[in-house]
Structure 1
Amino acid sequence: MDQFVESRCSQDSPMSSNSSSGGFQDTWAERKSVLQCNKYMLLNKEGCDVTFLVGANSTPIKAHKYVLASRSPVFFAMFLGPAKESSDEIIVPDIEDLVFEKFLRYVYFEDVKILDGDNVLHVLYAAKKYSMKGLESKCREFLVQHLNTENVCVILESSHTFGNGIMEEKCLQHILRNGDRVLQSPSFSDLCRKCVKTIISSNDLEADEAVVFKAAVKWAGAVCCRKCLTPIDRNIRKALGDILFEIRFPIMQLSFFADKVASSNILIQKEKIALYEYLCRSDTSDAKLEIPFNMEYRKNKSFLVCKRFNHLSAICDWENAGRKNSIAFSCTRAIWMHGIMMYESSSLDACENSVIVRNELGEVMYNSDEKRNTRREFAGGKMYNLFFGERLKIQPLKFYTISVKSMGPKSYHGEGGKRYVSCGPFRFEFRDSCTEKVPLLSTLGQPVNVQETTQSTGQIPGIIFSSWL
C-alpha cells in the first residue's frame, strides 16, 4: 500500500490538463482507502466544520461533523438529531486536549496505537461518553493485558471515579488474589476510602492480617498528610473510621498483636484487653460478643494445611453411606485448628458431614450437629475444605481425635498415608483412632468389614490450622 502523505504537496492541485484520466491529475486521494482519506482530512484540518474547545484551557480542536456523526450515535444526535447543536463550537471541559486528539485518531482511522498506560483510562472515558463501543473494548483489552501489582490500584481508582464497573470489578479481583503484594505497593495509599474499605472488608482478600494492618495504617497516615494533620495514632484511628473494625485483629498471631498493635494507641485500652483475652483463651465461643472487630478468616491466606497422604486413589470407590471416618493426631506446637479437608465424589455431589473433635480425655470440643456451622469450600485436587464455625486450640504433644460421619455418594480417598508430617516448624503425628468402631455389614450371611479410615488410607486428608503464637 502506498505510504500515506499527511502534509499537502504543491503538485496535489485538484485539477491539471496533464492528467491522463479525464483531464484530471491524480490527487492525494487517488488509490487511498476511506480510513487513509479520513486521516488526511483530520491531520491537515481540511474542510473542518466544527471546533471543540477542550480541557481546562479550552484548546481548540477542529473536526468534521459528518465523520463524527457516522461513527458515534452521540455525535449523530449532536449534529443531525432533532435537538442538534446550533453552534459550531462545542465545549468539552472534562477531557484533556491530548486525550481528545488521540480519541479522534481512532474515530477517524481506528488508530489503536494511541493507547498507553498513562492515557488508556482517559481514552476509555471519552469512548464511553461518546458511545464508541469498539474503542471501549480495545481499552478494556489493553487494561486486562497490562494489569499488574504496581498499577492495579491506580486503575481501580480511575475506574471507580469514571464509573467503569466492569474494569473496577476486574481490578478488585486482581487485588484480592494478590493481596499481600498489592497492599504493600505505594499506590495503595492513594486509594479513596470506599475502595480501601471494599478491599479490607472482603473475606476473599488473600493477605496476612499483619500486612492488612500495616497497609491500613499507612493509608490512614497518607490521609492525615493530605488533610495537613500529623499522622499520630489518634488521627490515624480517626482517619480509619469504620475501616478499623474490618481488620481481623482476632485472627492475628498473638506475638504480632503484642509487638505491633497493642504497643500503639490506635486501639483503646478496653479493645486491647478484650483482644488479649480472646487471643489467649483456649475456648473462644463465649468471647465472641465482646469483640467489636470482624472475626471471620480470610480465604486461604491465613491458614496452613497439613496434608497426610502421598497420593490419591485411582478410582472413586470410598463408601459414605452414613459411616464414620476417624483419625487421631498431635502437633509439636500449640496451634489453632480451623477445619479439615475431605475428598470429593466423582460427580462433585456434596456429602452431608457431621464432625466431632475430641481432646485426649475424650471430651467433645466441637460438634457440628449441635452448632450447625461447618462451612464447605472447594479446595481443588479432588478435595474440599470443611471449616469449623470457630477455631479450636490444640495443645502441643497431646492427641486429639477427629470423627466425620459422611452421608452421600462414593468419593475418592487417600493412600500412602504418612505418620509424621512437617509443615515448617510444626510437626504432626497421625495415628489410627480407636474411639469409633467400624460396624460390620452382612453380605449373604457373612460379616464383612467396611473400609476404615486409618493412618495409611482413607478420608480426612488434611488439617487446616494456623499458629497460636
Structure 2
Amino acid sequence: MDLCDSQLPLVENELITFQLFFSGCSSGYDSATELSGSDKESDTSISEKDPSSAEPEVMKYRSTQELCNTLQYILSLPDLCDVMFLVGEKRVPIYGMKAVLATRSRVFHNLILEAQRQSPVSKKSKKKSKQTPSLSNHIVIEINKYQPEHFREFVTFVHCGKVNINSTNVTGLYCAATEFDLSDLKIACRDFTTKSIKKGNATSILKSAKHYLPLHRAANKFVEKIHRYQKSLNG
C-alpha cells in the first residue's frame, strides 16, 4: 500500500482550508474503498466495448475495506505478527508486521534492521526466551515517548491506512507521523486541528498535548502554531 493511497474519511469528507494555521493544501481524503480514475462509478462495473472488438470484456473490481479489516484483525493476534513494540514506562506490548512497517516508513525500516542486528542468538538469549516465550518470535523495539494507546492507533494506521483522530490523540499522532515520516497523516492531523480551533475546541487539544511537549520537538511546534492561529482568529 503506497503512502499516498492510505485514504480515510476525514471530518465527514469536508474539505478544510488552513491558510493561516499551516501551509500547504488540505488533504481531502476520500473513502479507501472508492475507485480511482474511470472506475469511480461502480466497484463492479463492466466496461462497454464495441461488440465487434476482438478484445475480451474486462471487469475491474476493487475492494480494500475487507483487506483493511483483515490487517487490523491480524494486529490483535501476536502469534501472526513479527514485531513487538514495548511502549511507555509500563512497556505495553503493541504488535505489527515488519514487511508492512518497513515498506511504509524508512524510519521503521532502519529501526527493524537495527533491532535485528542487536539480537544475537546465544545461550543467554535462548534461556531468556524460555522464561519469556512471548519475546522469542518477535523483533523487539522499545518506544518510550508515546502514550501506548496513541502509538497503537498510529501502528494501526500504518497497516490499515485509517484512524479516528480526536482532540485527545491528535498531538500524539502528529508527533508519530513526523518522527516516522508519514506525510498524509500529518496533513490529516492539521486538518482536524484547524477545524477544532475554528469551533473553539483548541483547549482540549492543548490539554492533551502537555504529555508530549517535553518529549517531542514536533509537539512544541504544533502547540506554537495553535497559539498563533488562535491569535489570528481573535485579532
Q: TM-score range by the shorter chain?
A: 0.5 to 0.7
Deviation for aligned residue 1:106: 0.7
**2:133 is equivalent to residue 133 of structure 1:** no
**2:231 is equivalent to residue 175 of structure 1:** yes
Higher helix share: 2
Deviation for aligned residue 1:53: 0.9
Aligned match of 1:60: 93
Letter in 1 for 2:109: F
Instruction: Tell me, in whole angstroms, the C-alpha distance in 2 between the residues paired with 1:154 and 1:106.
Output: 20
Aligned match of 1:271: none
Aligned match of 1:455: none
Task: Pick closer, same or farther for the CA change 1:32–1:175 going to 2, 3 Å.
Answer: closer
Choose the corresponding residue for 1:103, options 115, 131, 154: 154
Aligned match of 2:12: none
Deviation for aligned residue 1:111: 1.9
8 A contact 2:171–2:205 mirrored in 1: no
Choose the corresponding residue for 2:118, options 79, 86, 95: 86
What is the alpha-carbon root mean square deviation over aligned residues?
3.1
Aligned match of 1:117: 167
Matched residue SS, 2:80 = coil
1:174-224 residue CA offsets vs partner (Å, 9 max, x unmatched): 22442xxxxxxxxxxxxxxxxxxxxxxxxxxx4xxxxxxxxxxxxxxxxxx
TM-score for the superposition, normalised by structure 1: 0.28
**2:47 is equivalent to residue 47 of structure 1:** no
Q: How does 1:222-371 map to 2 (within 5 A)?
A: none
Instruction: Tell me, in whole angstroms, the C-alpha distance in 1 between the residues paired with 2:204 and 2:66.
Output: 41
Instruction: Report sequence identity in percent.
Output: 25
**2:69 is equivalent to residue 36 of structure 1:** yes
Higher strand share: 1
1:143-195 residue CA offsets vs partner (Å, 9 max, x unmatched): 111115452595397586543336633531322442xxxxxxxxxxxxxxxxx
8 A contact 2:151–2:172 mirrored in 1: no
**2:123 is equivalent to residue 73 of structure 1:** no
Deviation for aligned residue 1:125: 1.1
Instruction: Tell me, in whole angstroms, the C-alpha distance in 1 between the residues paired with 2:117 and 2:183.
Output: 23
Deviation for aligned residue 1:43: 2.4
Task: Pick closer, same or farther for the CA change 1:85–1:123 going to 2, 3 Å.
Answer: farther
Letter in 1 for 2:176: A
Task: Pick closer, same or farther for the CA change 1:166–1:122 going to 2, 3 Å.
Answer: closer
Matched residue SS, 1:116 = coil
Instruction: Tell me, in whole angstroms, the C-alpha distance in 2 between the residues paired with 1:138 and 1:57.
Output: 29
Gaps of 5+ in 2: 1-63, 120-138
Higher relative contact order (CA closer than 8 Å, sequence separation 6+):
2
